[in-house]
Amino acid sequence: MPPRIAVCVKQVPDPDAPASTFKVDESARRVITAPGIPPVVNGFDLHATEAALRIKDAHAGGVEITVLSVGPSFVMEVIKKPLSMGADNLILVEDAALADVDAHATVTVLAAALKKAGPFDLILCGRQASDWDNAYVPLGLAEVLGLPCVTLARKVDLLKESGKVRVERSLTDGYQVVESDSPAVITVSNELGEPRYPTLRGIMAATRKQPSRWKPADIGLNAAALAPLLSLERLFVPERQKEIELIRGEDDADAGRKLALRLREAKLI
Amino acid sequence: MPKVLIAGEVQDGKLAGVSGELVAAALKLTGNPRDVSIALACDDAAGSAENALACGVGSVYVIEHPALKGAGQGGFDAPVTAFVALLNAEKPDVFLMARTDFGYNVAPRVAFRLGVPVAQDCIDLAWDAASNAAVVTRPVYGGNAMAVYRFKEQRPQIVIVRPKTFEPAASNLSPVGEIKRFGVEIPDSHSRARLVESVKEQRAGVRLEEAQVVVAGGRGLGGPEPFKQLQDLASVLGGALGASRAACDAGWIDHSHQIGLTGKSIGPRVYITVGISGASQHMAGCSGAKTIVAINRDPDANIFKEARYGVVGDWQKILPAFIETVREIKRS
């Protein structure tokens, strides 16, 4: 059987939307979806998709890539992006009850979905999601599924002879090469390089593909399994109190000179 | 008052500076340093254990095992197993780790193995005596919003603290506590992920995380060449060179210079940015900077909401005059 790779992705609000469009409903402790700005697939999850596609390329196409996502509701043309990049299947666990779940519940749901859709030789995830920035779903998945976990990959190879996975990890002060048994959970970072753009052919193929749509009950989960472990007491937009001193000059060069003199005066340089 | 256990980190045989920041965070939870302990999980704690004791804490737990070698960089099973065993034995109320390569990888796995929650990337924390639980604050949505979480009755309550948030506690105190050895079994077959190679990239000059002056460039620079000018400026000021993720992803400069939520956290006295718009993901990495100076063409750029001093204009004209004047100041 050809190797099977799962890629876990999340639909998130566009992190590049202007900060002025970011609003919070403090009483509901929720982020208000900015009107007119569509969500995106979390950036690092596209890096994970790219890592899976590079493995598929290295195996001359003989790899099956299944993308899984968990959420309250999906925008189809957004969540199909990994398919248009070249992934084979899409599984969506979609339910209104998944709106405010925490990372523990997300892990529970993803683990159950991976078990039902598996077995997989490799589970790839983005290093963290740009909404809550928790970075613990992949590590939790590894714990719950009893798998090794290698984080912050900038290169992932599935070795043909041994079936092991070889990962280059990007670290603060250098890098590591780690070899892991498969199956394993690997998290991918932006040091991997830019994810490919979907081709027109890819977009057409993705349009025709229909995702499998599951409810939590389809994978044996009830509401109790989704209750958050921490209580969110407050969610608010912090006030910016910095008062800026803008340095002006006769022209830009003069402003540059005056900036240096002002910093000197303030004993900063 | 809660009992707090800190996961210490060892760097070059010494207790890492970030562990002193965790001691400061722990002292916010409990006024009594005797209620604070530091655990060191590594292959050789000689030196670092004494450093830890000199933070004035009640106990230092030393967990030495060959399998914990290199654990400082995280990502493997052994430190998770070691901390879980210690937490089960000592039952602290709160377990603190830092959001470093180590804490980022280890703390969530400890939490999942124990079935308790973890609060990531916290910038403030307090102990609420009434509910006998920790209350923590953390930035979310790339810093656009703040979330306040309250723990419930679970123990331990695991909190991951953002580096450069707390001033390190004193680390030269007369020891009052004691060093306790804690044995842990880590079978050879334990780790199914093995380290093949570890490369530490040595960079000349000041470490970005420790620099008192940082000069950084972003997308607005338009290419790799201007970073030479920024490097010159950094050198004149005795500082380090940084960059936004956009500039790193574009290949203009190596990712080791990346400052941001996913990159290095800096805490300089002065942070000079050129052509950086100040997206919240970037600002999350420099929230420890005391004074931010911004040069940017766009008067509406977010960086001007965060900066203390700014110039709106063309960096190609501003920067040479700025650098020349800085040189003159330094010469005089």
Q: Tell me: the pLDDT tens digits for A71-125?
A: 999 999 999 999 999 999 999 999 999 988 889 999 999 999 999 999 999 999 9
The answer to whether residue A255 sits within a structural domain is: yes
- For residue A27, give both structure tokens: 């009483």
Q: Show the domain range for B183.
A: 4-190
Q: Is residue B313 part of a domain?
A: yes
DSSP letter assigned to residue B259: B
Residue in B with minimal Cα distance to A42:
B141
Distance CA(B317)–CA(A252), nearest Å, equals 6
A window 169-198, beta carbon within 8 A of B: 169-181, 184, 189-191, 194
Task: Summarize pLDDT for A9-32 with one digit per residue, the tens.
Answer: 999 999 888 777 889 999 999 988
Q: CB distance B321–A257 less than 8 Å?
A: yes
B277 has a pLDDT exceeding 90: yes
Domain-embedded: residue B239 = yes
Distance CA B294, CA A252 (A): 14
Do residues B227 and B221 make contact, with C-beta atoms less than 8 angstroms apart?
yes
Q: How would residue A225 be classed by pLDDT, with cut points 50, 70 and 90? A: confident
Please check whether residue A151 lies inside any domain of the structure.
yes
Position with higher pLDDT, A153 vs B194: A153
- Number of domain units in chain A: 2
Do A207 and A254 lie in a common domain? no
Least CA distance to B302: which residue of chain A? Answer: A19
Closest CB to B196 among A142, A178, A181: A178
Residue from A47, A101, A125, A136 whose CB has the most chain B CBs within 10 Å, to mutate: A136
Considering the domain architecture, whether residues B151 and B212 belong to the same structural domain is answered as no
Give the span between the Cα atoms of B312 and B318, in whole angstroms.
9
What's the confidence (pLDDT) of residue A223? Answer: 83
Q: Which residues of A touch B196 (CB under 8 A)?
A: 166, 176-179
Q: Based on the fold, state whether residues A222 and A245 are members of the same structural domain.
A: no
Q: Is A229 close to B116, i.e. CB distance below 8 A?
A: yes
The number of folded domains in chain B is 2
Local confidence band at A187 (pLDDT 50, 70, 90 cut-offs): very high
Q: What is the CATH number of the domain that holds B40?
A: 3.40.50.620
Average pLDDT along chain A: 93
Residue A231 in domain: no
Q: What is the pLDDT of residues B43-92, one digit of tens each?
A: 999 999 999 999 999 999 999 998 888 775 555 788 999 999 999 999 99
Edge to edge, the sheet with strand A122-126 lists A212-214, A89-94, A64-71, A4-9, A122-126, A184-188, A149-158, A165-171, A174-180, B193-200
Q: Cβ of B273 under 8 Å from any chain A Cβ?
A: no
Give the distance from residue B179's alpha carbon to the nearest chain A alpha carbon, in angstroms: 30
Residues of A in contact with B146 (CB under 8 A): 234-238
Nearest chain B residue to A249 by CA: give it.
Answer: B311
Q: Do A128 and B262 count as a contact with CB atoms less than 8 A apart?
A: yes
The CATH number of the domain where B235 resides is what?
Answer: 3.40.50.1220
Q: How many CB atoms lie within 10 A of CB A37?
A: 14
CA distance B248 to chain A (A): 9
Q: Are residues B146 and B245 in the same domain?
A: no
- Cα A252 to chain center, whole Å? 41
Give the β-pairing of B124-128 and B240-243: unpaired
Q: How far apart are CA A73 and CA B321, in angstroms?
A: 53
Q: Give the per-residue pLDDT at B74.
A: 57
- Asked if A168 and A268 sit in the same domain, the reply is no
Query: Does the distance separating the beta carbons of B142 and A15 come in below 8 Å?
Result: yes
Contact B145, A131 (CB under 8 A): no
- Report H helices in A72-102: 76-79, 81-85
Decide if A247 and B326 are in contact by the 8 Å CB cutoff.
no
pLDDT band at B189 (very low <50, low <70, confident <90, very high): low
Q: What is the CATH number of the domain that holds A162?
A: 3.40.50.620
Q: pLDDT: is B11 or A67 the higher one?
A: A67
Same domain? For A265 and A132 the reply is no
Determine, yes or no, domain membership for B251.
yes
Where in the sequence is the domain holding A264, given as residue range(s)?
241-269
| Closest C-alpha to B317, from B231, B229, B235 | B229
- Contact A256/B325, CB-based, under 8 Å? yes
A 82-121 near B (Cβ less than 8 A): 102, 104, 107
Return the exposure string of B121-147: e unless at least 16 CB atoms fall within 10 Å of the residue's CB, then b. bbbbbebeeeeebbbbbbbbbbbbbbb
Cross-chain residue pair A259–B295, CB shorter than 8 Å? yes
What residues contact B239, with CB distance under 8 A and at least 6 apart?
B206, B211, B212, B213, B214, B215, B268, B270
Q: How far apart are CA A73 and CA A80, in angstroms?
A: 13
Binned at pLDDT 50, 70 and 90, residue B322 comes out as very high
Residues A203 and A256 in one domain: no
Q: Does a structural domain hold residue A232? A: no
Q: Which residue carries 């970005």 as its tokens? A: B208
Interface test with B, best of A149, A150, A152, A156 (most B CBs within 10 A): A149
Which residues does residue A156 pair with via DSSP β-bridges, in sequence order? A167
| Domain shared by A202 and A263, yes or no | no
What's the CA dihedral at A196, B104, B212, B205 to 10 degrees? -70
Q: What phi and psi values does residue B132 have, to the nearest 5 degrees?
A: 55, 45
| Longest CA–CA separation in chain B, Å | 64
Cβ separation B144–A246 shorter than 8 A: no
- Claim to verify: residue B167 and residue B212 sit in the same structural domain: no
Please tell me whether residues A176 and A265 are part of one structural domain. Answer: no
* pLDDT band of B162, cuts 50, 70, 90: very high
Same domain, B127 and B270: no
Examine the domain organization and report whether A150 and A221 are in the same domain: yes
Other CB atoms within 10 A of residue A224 CB: 6
Answer yes or no: do B223 and B184 share one domain. no
**Same structural domain for residues A165 and A47?**
yes
**Domain match, A87 and A183 both:** yes
Are residue B171 and residue B288 in the same domain, yes or no? no
Contact (CB<8Å) B147/A257: no
A137 and A255 belong to one structural domain: no
pLDDT (tens digit per residue) in B237-272: 999 999 999 999 999 999 999 999 888 989 999 999
Q: B316: which 2 tokens? A: 């190609």
B14 and B136 housed in the same domain: yes
Residues in B closer than 8 angstroms to A181, CB to CB, are 192-193
> Could you tell me which chain B residue has the CA closest to the CA of A17?
B279
Tell whether the torsion through CA atoms of B29, B32, B34 and B35 is positive or negative.
negative
Average pLDDT over residues A58-78: 95
Mark whether B138 and B212 lie in a shared domain: no
Say if residue A62 is in the same domain as residue A102: yes
Please report whether residue A249 resides in a domain.
yes
Q: Which residues of B touch A133 (CB under 8 A)?
A: 120-121, 139-142, 261
Across the interface, do B117 and A190 touch by the CB < 8 Å criterion?
no
* Per-residue confidence (pLDDT) for residue A205, from 0 to 100: 95
